[in-house]
C-alpha cells in the first residue's frame, strides 16, 4: 500500500519544508547582506559592492545609538522585574491552592490575549488621565505587563512538573522554608526561570506596537527604524540587527548544547 507513492509524497513534503524554511530566512539573509553593502547614494536599496565600513561606523548616528541603548536598558530592567514577580506568581499558581486562583488564571489569560494595540492604547488612556509623563519608565512598565503572563506560564509549567516530595525531604532533613527554597526549589525551577527571562528579554527588545503608545518622545530601536522608513534605513540598522541576531542565535545554541549535556 505505501510503496512508491508514499515515498514520493514524503520526498515532496521534505522539499516543501525546506522551501518554507528558505522563505522564512530569506529576509534575514537580505538584512545581513545589506549591512555589508558599499552604498554610495542615500538609499541602501541596490547592491554596490562589499565593505566592512558600516561595522566600523556602527555608532556614527547618535540618535540610533541612543535608541539602541534605550532598548537594551529597558529590556534588562523589564526582564529583571518580570522574572522576579512572574516567578513568584508561577510558584503560587503551580504549587499552592488559594482563593482567587481562578481569577488569577483569568487575569493571566487576559494579559496574553489582549491585543498589543489595545494594551498600548489603554495604558496611554491611563497615563493621559493621570497626567503621567511618558518616558523610559512608562515603557518599562508596559514591557513588564506584556511579558509577565508569559514568564508566569513558563515557570508554572516547570513547577507543576516537579516532584513535591523533594521539598518535603528537604524539610524532613531540617531545612527551613528559605533554605528549602534556595537549595531545592529554585535550582530545580531554574530552567523555567531562564527560559522565561530569555522570552521576556526578546519580547521587550522587539516590541514596537505597545511602545509606540507609551514612549512620549523617547525612541527605542524598533521605533527609530519605523521612524526612518520614509527617509531610508541606514546600513547601521542592518549591522545592529545582524549583531543582535548573531548573539541571540549563539545563546540559543549554547543553551541547547548545555541542555543536551545535562541529560
Partner 1 sequence: MRRLTPYLLALPSWMWLAIFLVVPLAAMASVSLQTGNVIDGFVMTFSFGNYGDALGTYSTQLVRSLGYGATATAAMLVIGYPVAYWIAFKGGSRKSVYLFLLLLPFFVSFVLRTISWGFLLADDGIVLGTLKSWGVLSADFHVLATSFAVIAGLTYNWLPFMILPIYVSLERVDPRLVEAAQDLYATRGTAFRKVVLPLSLPGVFAGVLMTFVPATADPVNAQVLGGTGNTMIGNIIQTEYLVNNDYPTASALSFTLMAVLLVGIFVYARVLGTENVLEAAAR
User: Binding to partner 1 (CB under 8 A): which residues in 168-187?
Assistant: none
CB 112 → partner 1: shortest distance, Å?
A: 8
Q: Which of 51, 65, 104, 136 binds partner 1 (CB under 8 A)?
A: 104
CA distance 162 to 172: 18
Give the one residue of 73, 92, 137, 162 binding partner 1; rule: CB under 8 A.
92
CB of 173 to partner 1, least distance (A): 18
Q: Cell match 513588564: residue?
A: 144
Cβ atoms < 10 Å from Cβ of 218 = 18
Does residue 197 touch partner 1 according to CB under 8 A?
Answer: no
Restricting to residues 2-41, name those near partner 1 by CB under 8 A: 2, 6, 9-10, 13-14, 16-17, 20-21, 23-28, 30-31, 34
| Alpha helix (H) residue ranges in 96-185 | 101-113, 116-129, 136-160, 165-172, 177-180
Based on the shown chain and the rule CB under 8 A, indicate whether residue 91 belongs to the binding site for partner 1.
yes
Whole-number minimum distance, CB 61 to partner 1, in Å? 16
Name the strand (E) or helix (H) holding 28: helix 4-33
Grid cell at residue 137? 519608565
Those residues with Cβ within 8 angstroms of residue 208's Cβ, 6 or more apart along the chain or in another chain = 222, 223, 226
Q: Tell me which residues in 226-245 interact with partner 1 (CB under 8 A).
A: 226, 229, 233, 237, 241, 244-245
88 counts as binding partner 1 under rule CB under 8 A? yes
Does the protein bind partner 1 through residue 208 (CB under 8 A)? yes
- C-alpha torsion 91→95→101→106, nearest 10: 60
Amino acid at each position: 500500500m505505501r510503496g512508491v507513492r508514499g515515498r514520493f509524497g514524503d520526498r515532496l513534503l521534505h522539499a516543501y519544508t525546506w522551501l518554507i524554511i528558505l522563505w522564512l530566512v530569506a529576509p534575514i539573509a537580505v538584512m545581513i547582506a545589506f549591512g555589508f553593502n558599499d552604498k554610495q547614494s542615500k538609499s541602501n536599496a541596490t547592491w554596490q559592492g562589499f565593505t566592512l565600513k558600516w561595522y566600523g561606523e556602527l555608532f556614527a548616528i547618535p540618535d540610533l545609538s541612543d535608541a539602541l541603548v534605550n532598548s537594551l536598558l529597558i529590556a534588562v530592567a523589564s526582564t529583571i522585574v518580570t522574572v522576579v514577580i512572574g516567578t513568584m506568581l508561577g510558584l503560587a499558581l503551580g504549587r499552592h491552592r488559594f482563593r482567587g486562583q481562578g481569577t488569577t488564571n483569568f487575569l493571566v489569560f487576559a494579559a496574553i490575549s489582549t491585543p498589543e494595540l489595545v494594551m498600548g492604547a489603554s495604558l496611554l488612556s491611563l497615563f493621559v488621565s493621570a497626567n503621567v509623563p511618558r518616558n523610559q519608565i512608562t515603557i518599562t512598565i508596559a514591557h513588564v505587563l506584556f511579558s509577565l503572563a508569559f514568564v508566569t506560564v513558563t515557570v508554572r509549567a516547570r513547577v507543576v512538573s516537579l516532584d513535591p516530595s523533594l521539598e518535603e525531604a528537604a524539610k524532613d532533613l531540617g531545612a527551613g522554608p528559605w533554605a528549602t527554597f534556595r537549595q531545592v526549589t529554585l535550582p530545580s525551577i531554574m530552567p523555567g526561570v531562564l527560559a522565561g527571562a530569555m522570552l521576556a528579554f526578546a519580547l521587550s527588545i522587539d516590541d514596537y506596537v505597545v511602545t509606540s503608545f507609551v514612549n512620549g518622545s523617547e525612541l527605542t530601536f524598533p521605533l527609530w527604524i519605523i521612524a526612518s522608513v520614509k527617509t531610508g534605513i541606514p546600513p547601521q540598522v542592518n549591522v545592529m540587527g545582524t549583531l543582535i541576531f548573531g548573539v541571540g542565535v549563539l545563546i540559543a545554541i549554547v543553551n541547547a548544547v548545555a541542555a543536551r549535556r545535562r541529560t
